[in-house]
Amino acid sequence: MFDGSFRAPIDRGIAPIGKRLQKAGVSPDAVTAVGVVMAAACGVAIGLGQFPLAVLLLILTGLPDALDGAVAKAGGKAGPRGAFLDSVSDRLSDGLLFAGAGWFLLNGDSPRLVMLPFALYLAASLVSYQRAKAEVLGFDAKGGLMERAERFIALGIGLLFSPIFVPVLWIMLALTAATAVFRFVKVWKQASAVRAVPPRRRRRRQRRTARPIAGTFRERARGRAESRRRRS
């Protein structure tokens, strides 16, 4: 939902900040690393029950996550390596935040609630994996009610109003699971519309592609033999 409605305006708004950071010599990898450190600190604050501090640290976690891409684009360093690092750091940051929530619930009146953040992280990881896998296969898996930005906002609300922290986690879990189902159905329909290639046609295509390759090898071998004869 966030990617479809607000991503472009926010990217345009933070582009000047990214240019200033890039001119100051700040690398996008350093910005990403700061976000992970802030996520770890936020997780510790959540685990200790310091929710006001956790809200501040959560904001400081989200800012680098939004700025690293802008810094990379400003410096012309946007590429697969940065995208890979960003994706891995996002999963790590999510794990640190939910681990902090589990730590807090483990020391509460109902220790079994520690499974709630675990289930939430599992559902969030499934949502992220579906999008990544769909893009590799050439499909679109964007959309849903609870993407990463919405999870940050919802978690911030739960931390800001601590009495509703657990109910907010339940709502996040339900909406994240609904997002996972939505993306699965969306990609399933796209994949079902693609015709599968019959086995015979696959073999023919493989043979056709293999023949030129085999021919080039033969030509190379003949060329080497001729060059050896000339030398002799």
Per-residue pLDDT of the chain (232 residues; tens, 9 = 90+): 656 566 667 767 788 888 888 888 888 889 999 999 999 999 999 999 999 999 999 999 998 888 888 888 887 777 888 889 989 999 999 999 999 999 999 988 888 999 999 999 999 999 999 999 999 999 999 888 999 889 999 999 999 999 999 999 999 999 999 999 999 999 999 999 987 766 666 556 555 554 554 454 455 555 555 554 444 4
Residues marked active site are found at 90
Q: Residue 214 has what pLDDT?
A: 46
Q: Residue 26 has what pLDDT?
A: 86
Q: Residue 213 has what pLDDT?
A: 47
232, 126: one domain: no
Number of folded domains in the chain?
2
According to DSSP, residue 196 is labeled P
- Radius of gyration, alpha carbons of the chain: 25
According to DSSP, residue 48 is labeled T
146, 232: one domain: no
CB 57 within 8 A of CB 45: yes
146, 218: one domain: no
Q: Residue 21 has what pLDDT?
A: 84
In angstroms, the CA 98 to CA 136 distance is: 27
Q: Residue 221 has what pLDDT?
A: 53
Q: Which residue has the tokens 């770890």?
A: 40
Q: Residue 7 has what pLDDT?
A: 66
Q: Is the dihedral of CA 75, 78, 81, 84 positive or negative?
A: positive
228, 153: one domain: no
Q: Residue 231 has what pLDDT?
A: 47
Phi and psi angles of residue 37, each rounded to the nearest 5 degrees, phi first: -65, -40
Distances (CA, A) of 173 to 3, 118, 229: 20, 10, 74
**Range list of H helices, 24-164:** 28-47, 51-74, 80-106, 115-137, 148-160
Domain of residue 211, residue span? 198-232
110, 183: one domain: yes
109, 163: one domain: yes
pTM: 0.78
Q: Which of 153, 46, 44, 171 is nearest to 108 (CA)?
A: 46
216, 175: one domain: no
